[in-house]
Amino acid sequence: MSVSRLWKTLIYEIFVTFQLIFIGTGAIIVNQKYTGTLGDFGIGICFGLAIYVGIMLFGRISNAHMNPAATLLLRACGKINSKIAAILIISQIIGAFIASFILYTISPMDSTLGSTAPNAGILNSWFIEFGLTTILLIAVCLVSNMKVPLVAFILGSIVFLEAWLAGPLTGASMNPIRSIAPAVVSGNTENLWIYITAPFTASGLVYGLNRTFKLDSIF
C-alpha cells in the first residue's frame, strides 16, 4: 500500500470513529441532559446510522472498522496486515478521544459524556456485552466479502437493534474505544474493564469460530 493510501486510511478512520462517538454518545447526552425525547430507540438509531453512514462513505478506503475488536479479528483472520491494523487502531483511539473532548467542551457539566454503565449488574453486564459483541463480530466475518452498501446496512442494523434493546442494561458498547474515550475523559472508569475484556474475548471466540467454520467464505 502506498504512503498516500496509508495517510488516507489514517485520516479517514480518525474521522469515521470520531463521527460514531460524537453522534452516538452525543445523542445520549442530548437525551439525558436536554430534550429527553430520543429514548433508547432514538439513541439506537443514532448509533446505527453512524455505522451505516461511516461504512458507506469510507468503507472503500479505511474499511471503516471504528472498533479495535473488529480490527484485531480481521487481522487475525488475515483480512488486513499488521501495519494497517495498527494504523486503524491508533486512528480509532484518536478519533474517539477527539469526539469525547469536544463533547466535554460543549457540555462540561455532563458527568458521564455518554459512558457505558453495567446497570444489569457486573457479571450479567459482562456476559451481555460478550454476547452482543459476538453477534456483531460474527456478522463482520459473514459480510467481509460483500459489497459496501450491503455491509453498511447489515452492520448498521445490528448495531441499532443491539443498542436499542440492550442499551438500558449495559450501554450496549460492543466496542472498547466507544467505552474507553468517554469514560476516561469524564473520569468514570470504575467498571471500564467490562467493556474492554468482553469485546476482546468475543473477538477471540469469533476468530476460533471462523477458523473452524469458515464464516468469512459462506457468502
DSSP symbols for 113-146 = TT----TT-HHHHHHHHHHHHHHHHHHHHHTTTS
Alpha helix segments (H runs only) across the chain: 3-33, 39-58, 68-76, 82-106, 122-142, 148-170, 176-186, 192-213
**Distance in angstroms (rounded) separating the CA atoms of residues 200 and 188:** 20
pLDDT at 155: 98
Specify the pLDDT at position 110: 86
**Residue holding cell 496486515?**
81
Give, in order, the Cα–Cα distances in Å from 208 to each of 3, 10, 15, 67, 156: 33, 28, 31, 19, 24
Q: What pLDDT, on the 0 to 100 scale, is given for residue 219?
A: 87
CB 21 within 8 A of CB 99: yes
pLDDT (0 to 100) of residue 5: 83
Residues in the chain with pLDDT values less than 70: 1
Burial of 152 (0-12, 13-18, 19+ CB in 10 A): buried
How much is the pTM?
0.97
**pLDDT computed for residue 3 by the predictor:** 80
The whole-angstrom distance between residue 120's C-alpha and the CA centroid of its chain comes to 20
Per-residue confidence (pLDDT) for residue 65, from 0 to 100: 97
Contacts of residue 163, defined as CB under 8 A and 6 or more positions apart, other chains included, come to 24, 40, 43, 44, 47, 48, 172
For residue 1, the model assigns a pLDDT of 64
Q: Give SS3 for 201.
A: helix
